[in-house]
Structure 1
Amino acid sequence: MQKLFKYPLWAILSSLILLTLFVGCSPSESNQTAEVTPPEWSENATIYEVNIRQFSPEGTFEAFTEDIPRLKEMGVEILWLMPIHPIGEVNRKGTLGSYYSIVDYTEVNPEFGTKEDLQNLVDTAHEHDMKVIIDWVANHTAWDAVWTETNPEFYETDEDGNFMRPDEDWEDVIQLDVDNRDMWEAMIQAMEYWVRDHDIDGFRADVAYMVPTEFWIEARQRLDEIKPVFMLAEAEEPELHQAFDMSYAWSYASTIREIGAGNAGLDALDEVLSENFSRFDKSDYRMFFTTNHDENSWTGSDPEMYGDNFENFAVLSATVWGMPLVYNGQESGLDKQLEFFEKDEIEWNNYEYEDFYSTLLHLNRDNRALYNGEAGGDYLKVSTDSDESIFSYKRITEDDEVFVILNFSDSEQSFVFDSGDQGEWTNVFTESEMTIPAEFVMDANSYLLLEK
């Protein structure tokens, strides 16, 4: 959705103050009981967000489909398509409007192509052993949506019977009555249509927390009767894992932005990870990222948000817990904020970060320590005598380990590990063997990614 500050910094900081610091730990084993079983194929999956409008000069399903083999080679398993539906014209923002202003849940935006083009995209992805999920907006529609004519009772209205905005800033959309069970039925039938008739593999639910959890539970049960689906909630409420496989690590994302801006130290990273481990069960998939369509368009580009530590934060987000997200264009060093309501295509240049992301995604796919949910390794913080500059940790399973060492300082750092000898490892990026010395030296703003 267009920018809404769902988790204000004051709320995040307040929640952190109330938590006991819990470093060197793993996600809670008893915090809550997940009631969904993620599809087997998602156990070691990675995810890539696709902005069809900005992906290519054509801005079409057909043009994007040509890149599917490249993305498969890069290590992508799940393609998340931003909303594919026709966009409202009444109170439209900008020239092309917001993708999240939906006119018809069972049609496609003609600017992107036809249903046949979309089906070819899905079929091509499946041929490459990839999955496709589509963005779903269940709490509001465009002012000129089909339902405003056929089912006006599906909407909330004011005392004069007028449609209402969900939020003051969202003037291009109107609020559905999310307690209306007839609306639920129509919405779920539309979701079933895409899974049954077009073989879509699941959904990313926009502002999922603004719709009753009971709706999502019912939707998930019915979709799974067609085939096992994958569900991603744009939310950070643990109870939504009764219906969703994965949720956003929003508090983490906010924290790394604050660190990147110089407004917080690495102790804030310890705190936010502890919060996540205590709030969520290990079986809950969590999505970690440096950016997405909201962060890029409304907060800043990667260089603006993270400066010389961008690669450090990317390595962190790909290894610390859960499933890593790559937003389209990051593999080419996306260094601008893409316009949200206009045509503003990605500059692909020479794909300078493609090998970097490929290494991260393949490691995530192949090393069991980085698997999602219960299959993944435990998190162990590894302290040093330079914790203000160095952040290091391991992910550990019975047979596999990953060791991450990050220097966030703008200067070279010499340090020792509190726990002494760290043993022998393989450098993931150079594929060379190395032994961690008693006193370690790292270049400024650098990372070391090791496995064994």
Structure 2
Amino acid sequence: MFNAIHLNSIGYVFEFGMKIIIDCVYNHTSPDSVLAKEHPDWFYHKKDGSFGNKVGDWSDVIDLDYSHKDLWKYQAETLVMWAKYVDGFRCDVAPMVPVDFWKYAREEVAKVWPGAIWLAESGAPDFIRFLRSKGAVGGSDSELYQAFDMTYDYDIYPDLRAALLGQKDLTDYLAGLNRQEGVYPENYVKAHFLENHDVVRAHGMIDDPAALRAMTAFIYFMKGAMLVYNGEEKGDAHHVTLFDKDPVDWNGDIDLTDLLKKMHEIKQLPIMAEGSYEAKEVRKGVLEAVHSLGEGEEEEQLIGLFNTTGKKQAIPTQLPEGIYKNLYDGSSVQVYEGVMRIGEITIIEK
């Protein structure tokens, strides 16, 4: 299971100051897996006794059955082994595995690596509702936070996708984004994304490069973590299945590398993790997001304005008159008579 090749690869990544989170697929295995041969009783069986899926028909995989506690021990032992070498786990379709198992697994891993990072590939509410309607396990984001540090942004992604495709405005998406501050644990972390392996590429929905840059920065500016999918930094627009090889075209016209580096730098400001967060659309195509920390005269704010229109805008503001530094590009931003003039991406401290 673990050999010198793995160890050398891990060491190579660590040399770059990076961390490693490995994918953990615990809902299912391939039909010809060792586990299916050695412990067929640990799997879900259809009425005819054959292997299958609890929900849907994923022809290439068969589902595990977590009513068997020996399976819990087996799975947790594997995680404990990997926890000695990696920084954490990204758990595939985590809602379909009992939350009590995840809690148990986390406790076991903590015995060897208490600082492990736990990321759940959570599901959209419609998917969770569908699972439950079929009598399957369907853990909501709120339940998953009992065991996980982070969950995916699928609770609000459908509204974002609809807005980016021009099917609706951003009202529902922004309402859902702000609602996260009130429905999840105070220390919740979301893995925000514009794209990933299961959804349409961002550039496939956002054709204009200026709008793509502004939306990418907006997502990165949110409270929580940012998920950057392979090829997103080069504006790949095509979407392929998991079964296709998909090399990155490094010679494309779009390059978001510097943008991502700068947003990563800004992300390290303490207020990004410790403050409250709110976002709104201040004008058609112009998004404002505010991180706030403290109260009254002691209140600090980090304000981001993300202009997807491709044109400079004059935005009304309650900021005191003066000259502010744009943390994104170092330029000066003037506030005069309640108006601030902005370009594509403007991030200032108050």
- TM-score, normalised via structure 1 length: 0.66
For 1:168 and 1:221, locate their aligned partners in 2 and report how far apart those are by CA, in whole Å.
31
For 2:30 and 2:59, locate their aligned partners in 1 and report how far apart those are by CA, in whole Å.
9
Cα displacement (A) at 1:344: 2.4
For 2:345 and 2:173, locate their aligned partners in 1 and report how far apart those are by CA, in whole Å.
16
Task: Flag structure 2 segments of 5+ consecutive residues without an equivalent.
Answer: 123-139
Cα displacement (A) at 1:141: 0.6
For 1:422 and 1:148, locate their aligned partners in 2 and report how far apart those are by CA, in whole Å.
68
- 1:431 paired with 2:335, answer no
Q: Which has the higher contact order (CA 8 A, sep 6+)?
A: 1
Are the equivalent residues in 1 in contact too, given 2:333–2:341 (CA < 8 A)? Answer: no
Name which of structure 1's ranges 353-362 and 275-284 shifts more when overlaid on structure 2.
Answer: 275-284
For 1:414 and 1:432, locate their aligned partners in 2 and report how far apart those are by CA, in whole Å.
16
Are the equivalent residues in 1 in contact too, given 2:29–2:61 (CA < 8 A)? Answer: yes
**Map of 2:102 onto structure 1:** 216
- Identify which of 57, 65, 72 aligns with 1:184: 72
Are the equivalent residues in 2 in contact too, given 1:379–1:394 (CA < 8 A)? Answer: yes
**Map of 2:154 onto structure 1:** 250
CA deviation vs aligned residue, 1:84-126 (integer Å, no higher than 9, x gap): xxxxxxxxxxxxxxxxxxxxxx46xxxxxxx323222212233
**Map of 1:288 onto structure 2:** 192
- Identify which of 17, 39, 43 aligns with 1:151: 39
1:159 partner amino acid = K
- 1:392 paired with 2:288, answer yes
Q: Report SS of the residue matched to 2:20.
A: strand
Q: Report SS of the residue matched to 2:23.
A: strand
- 1:262 paired with 2:162, answer no
State, as a whole percentage, how many aligned pairs show the same letter: 27
Name which of structure 1's ranges 340-349 and 429-438 shifts more when overlaid on structure 2.
Answer: 429-438
- 1:337 paired with 2:259, answer no
Name which of structure 1's ranges 343-352 and 310-319 shifts more when overlaid on structure 2.
Answer: 343-352
**Map of 1:405 onto structure 2:** 305
**Map of 1:378 onto structure 2:** 276
Q: Report SS of the residue matched to 2:185.
A: coil
**Map of 1:4 onto structure 2:** none
Distance 1:158 1:361, change over 3 A: same
For 1:396 and 1:187, locate their aligned partners in 2 and report how far apart those are by CA, in whole Å.
41
For 1:339 and 1:135, locate their aligned partners in 2 and report how far apart those are by CA, in whole Å.
17
Name which of structure 1's ranges 175-184 and 267-276 shifts more when overlaid on structure 2.
Answer: 267-276
Are the equivalent residues in 2 in contact too, given 1:368–1:397 (CA < 8 A)? Answer: no
For 1:400 and 1:165, locate their aligned partners in 2 and report how far apart those are by CA, in whole Å.
51
For 2:325 and 2:35, locate their aligned partners in 1 and report how far apart those are by CA, in whole Å.
57
Distance 1:431 1:310, change over 3 A: same
Cα displacement (A) at 1:248: 0.8
- TM-score, normalised via structure 2 length: 0.85
Compute the RMSD of aligned alpha carbons: 2.3
Cα displacement (A) at 1:287: 0.8
Cα displacement (A) at 1:181: 0.6
Distance 1:383 1:204, change over 3 A: closer
**Map of 2:88 onto structure 1:** 202
**Map of 1:117 onto structure 2:** 5
1:259 partner amino acid = A
For 2:186 and 2:170, locate their aligned partners in 1 and report how far apart those are by CA, in whole Å.
23
**Map of 2:135 onto structure 1:** none
- 1:173 paired with 2:73, answer no
For 1:447 and 1:264, locate their aligned partners in 2 and report how far apart those are by CA, in whole Å.
23
Cα displacement (A) at 1:416: 1.5
Q: Report SS of the residue matched to 1:326.
A: coil
- Identify which of 440, 443, 452 aligns with 2:340: 440
Are the equivalent residues in 1 in contact too, given 2:193–2:226 (CA < 8 A)? Answer: yes
The correspondence of residues 283-322 of structure 1 with structure 2, limited to 5 A, is: 283-295=187-199, 299=200, 301-308=201-208, 309-322=211-224
For 1:234 and 1:391, locate their aligned partners in 2 and report how far apart those are by CA, in whole Å.
27
